[in-house]
Structure 1
């Protein structure tokens, strides 16, 4: 193994949509979803929608067929296979649910590339209805994080992954995400780690507003080709350059950093202006 753990969000990070919204739209239930959303947490809305759709004759096969049409860019498929081939340990931490994620990954032949999927539990009950439950049962207690949704705080999940991986030896971590809920786990990374926020998405905006809370090297990405190029470059840095400083940053947001001087190491980083200290 390369000693690298890559942790992906799922929606809008591995697939080019939000899987919940995509399925609801595919099944023609968008208006009802929008009606319910102001009245209860998102995770509860999805479970309620599955109940209502089941009562209308929508089967689990219909749901799976809708999910299989969710777009995944070829560059994303390429980086999963390339990172795995380079010996990286690939994990998912997502606020989707296990049925949605596994259905999509299996459809693309990618399920076996991931060693662990952390997400909201889901199962098909005795009457054939898909149930979607919260990762954290907020009806019993709060997870205590003001940033994350009530059903899942990704921070403790990433802390557990890091502790478990580090127990087997030295590791470096790369985290990719786009949403507000990806900010908390990004704050758990160390200076030698990397975080890849999707530019102009909520996690990137939170990092711009709270730069001192992020210790890891920040490498933003915009396009799917960016995501592939930057991630593989970071993996290459760790494997072949004996761990260049994670403070190497290319960003048009005023993150506090100490830029390293090697032009050779900069030539493959993000192609946006760098802000000097």
Structure 2
């Protein structure tokens, strides 16, 4: 992966456009949680651990997975290597190259139900960490015994989201904080790039000038199509499905001509 030179924008003034990214199966082409399991000697979890998962409690399940991996002797270096080897989603590095060349216009943020160690490690390895003003994800760090300890991001009252993270709450708080910092409406438009069912909730914050980019034929795309067909009034944003990051680049180039 080719690193982009680090001349990141200043963190104070907001850009014209805010671009929010999910991580798993959006920036990278698979789940980072699945990828690190391949660091196990048998490269898979035992059935008893797989079957312990409870719907809506995925963070809690991953805490058990990481504890099991530590018990099996999986080292920090092995986890680090497994994360660094994850392939980017097709065209995403080209998208980052485009956003890098227009840093004066775009502010980038990650909102992900992965964790800090996986995301920071991968973005650093790809040479794109400096493009992101903020990363919102579950805290994860290695303790004195070498175990990667995962924590929930926050608690919330949203009945639609996993118990550890509501992406809509995060987005609302971020927009409010940027508005306060900038003394007014901080962004001309907001774009959300995702793939999963938990990317629906933040998409409902978007207005008619904003755009949701669901990865084509992934859960976010299918659910948004269902919402469109049922004419649910909550969904106001434009919907632009994508297969490759190049699809998003093409769309952003059109937006950039509307100066």
Partner of 1:181: 198
SS of equivalent to 1:65: helix
Mapped pair 1:155 → 2:165: no
Q: State the alpha-carbon separation in 1 of the partners of residues 177 and 100 from structure 2.
A: 19
Which blocks of at least 5 consecutive residues in structure 2 are unaligned?
A: 1-13
Shift of 1:40: 8.6
Q: State the alpha-carbon separation in 2 of the partners of residues 39 and 171 from structure 1.
A: 37
Q: Which of 185, 195, 219 is the equivalent residue of 2:212?
A: 195
Q: Is the 8 A contact 1:6 1:89 kept in 2?
A: yes
Q: Which of 230, 233, 239 is the equivalent residue of 1:218?
A: 239
Shift of 1:161: 2.2
SS of equivalent to 1:203: helix
Q: State the alpha-carbon separation in 1 of the partners of residues 76 and 39 from structure 2.
A: 14
Q: Is the 8 A contact 1:37 1:45 kept in 2?
A: yes
Report runs of 4+ in structure 1 exceeding 4 Å deviation. Answer: none
Describe the shift of the 1:74–1:219 C-alpha distance in structure 2 as closer, same or farther (beyond 3 A): closer
Describe the shift of the 1:40–1:181 C-alpha distance in structure 2 as closer, same or farther (beyond 3 A): closer
SS of equivalent to 1:21: helix
Q: CA RMSD in A?
A: 2.0
Partner of 2:9: none
Shift of 1:2: 4.9
Q: Is the 8 A contact 1:84 1:90 kept in 2?
A: no
Q: Is the 8 A contact 2:115 2:138 kept in 1?
A: yes
- The farther-off stretch of 43-52 and 183-192 is 43-52
Partner of 1:260: none
TM-score, normalising length: structure 1: 0.78
TM-score, normalising length: structure 2: 0.83
SS of equivalent to 1:58: coil
Mapped pair 1:8 → 2:21: yes
Q: Is the 8 A contact 1:8 1:91 kept in 2?
A: yes
Partner of 2:101: 85
Partner of 2:92: 76
More relative contact order, 1 or 2 (CA 8 Å, 6+ apart) = 2
Which blocks of at least 5 consecutive residues in structure 1 are unaligned?
A: 138-142, 243-277
Q: Is the 8 A contact 1:81 1:113 kept in 2?
A: no
